[in-house]
Amino acid sequence: MQYQAVEMSVFEAILARRSVRCYTSQAVDNATVRLLLEAAVHAPTAFHDEAWAFAVIQDKSELRLLSDRAKPLFINELRRSGRSRSEHALEAFSDPAQNIFYDAGTLIVICADSMSPFAAADCWLAAENLMLAACAMGLGTCVIGSALPALNVATIKAGFGIPEKFSAIAPIVVGYPVEETKPTPRRQPYILNRIPVEQQ
């Protein structure tokens, strides 16, 4: 196992996690992937359904091909949604050189069993567990939502061994970061009611 454990509390890991978009060529080994999946399956799960399943793709050329298939489908999605902020994204996704997986060597696709009513919630909770564990192990991650339209095409799903009854929910690239990633700013929590001032 090659992971470099970083001493941090859960809260420190929450603050340290970033979406990493630049990876070294170092591969993430299978033992490390299994540890990440172990963290994922300890997430809360509605009705104890554990409605998640995982497809692990560790072939850069397959990911490159998937990226090329995903870009036009995602462009269609952006056009359909008519999002005002999508002009810049449309340009980026039209660039033939753009790899939506940032040349990472590992993609973990968290898939939901569509029979379970809260399956998507289960998967996203598993996703955050996985990303925080990765961060504490010195790994970088990034959710690649732009891969979803492609990953839910029946033939593409089948090609990655994802059975028909599962939907791809959370595709996450994993790898070793080239450099530190700056934090993206967050607004202060928008609290809708009054929180009483604590007595000292």
Ligand X SMILES: Cc1cc2nc3c(=O)[nH]c(=O)nc-3n(C[C@H](O)[C@H](O)[C@H](O)COP(=O)(O)O)c2cc1C
Residue 19 in contact with ligand X, rule: CB under 6 A: yes
83 to each of 76, 77, 78, 80, 90, how far by Cα in Å? 12, 10, 7, 8, 10
What's CA 26's distance to the chain center, in Å? 19
Structure tokens given for 53? 């399943």
Q: Among 35, 107, 146, 150, indicate the residue that binds ligand X (CB under 6 A).
A: 146
d(CA 14, CA 18): 9
Residue 18 in contact with ligand X, rule: CB under 6 A: yes
Complex with ligand X: residue 24 or 98, whichever CB lies closer: 98
Only segment of 5-13, 31-39, 142-150, 191-199 that touches ligand X (CB under 6 A): 142-150
d(CA 159, CA 39): 26
What does the DSSP assignment read for 93-140?
HH-TT--TTTT-SEEEEEEEETTSTTHHHHHHHHHHHHHHHHHHTT-E
Q: Among 22, 78, 121, 143, indicate the residue that binds ligand X (CB under 6 A).
A: 143
Structure tokens given for 159? 């090609």
Only segment of 25-33, 54-62, 76-84, 143-151 that touches ligand X (CB under 6 A): 143-151
Q: Per-residue x/- marks for ligand X, 63-102, CB under 6 A? A: ----------------------------------------
| Shortest Å distance, C-beta 200 to ligand X | 34
- Interacting residue ranges for ligand X, rule: CB under 6 A: 18-19, 21, 142-146, 184
